[in-house]
Amino acid sequence: MGFLKNLFQKSDLNANQSEPSKEEIAAAGEFYMPLKGKIVPITEVPDPVFSQKMMGDGFAIIPENDVVRSPVDGKITNIFPTKHAISLESNEGREILIHVGLETVSLKGEGFTVLTKDGSNVKKGDKLLQVDFPGIAGKVPSTITSVVITNLGNGEHVVIENNKVSIVS
């Protein structure tokens, strides 16, 4: 198995090393979770687009709060017109999709308040969306929120361990 890497930082680490360095361990903890809640593997999302990794690898969060925050320092590349999803690019070049709930596109923006702008530079923890999860819960199959990295390199995949998310090569 390769090394744990910062989720949104590309690295050219030697795959033959046996343990990650202290710097890599520290970097792995720098990813800011976009929502508070239970982290689950992307394969557990009850939608094949996500669970079969058609858009990329990632993870999901069963939300416990109502504010979606930026997981990385970077730039907003797209706010979907229906406000249910936001795309970002990290300063390291990772492309990230945060998709709130399942079939939430059908709500046409109801229950979502955008707190940023397309093209804005963001820092880890900046507020992106406010979501009325109780208000949308009965209108969609699930409020599970997928976080997908759409441009992983060859051999890279997402690993969840001890409630932390990392990329392994």
Catalytic residue set: 99
What are the φ and ψ backbone dihedral angles of 48, each rounded to 5 degrees? -60, -25
The answer to whether 65 touches 132, Cβ cutoff 8 Å, is no
Question: Can you tell me the distance from the alpha carbon of 60 to that of 130, in angstroms, rounded to the nearest whole number?
Answer: 17
Determine the 3-state secondary structure of 76 from DSSP.
strand
Burial environment of residue 122 by CB neighbours within 10 A (0 to 12, 13 to 18, 19 or more): buried
The answer to whether 56 touches 148, Cβ cutoff 8 Å, is yes
Residues 6+ apart with CB under 8 A from 14: none
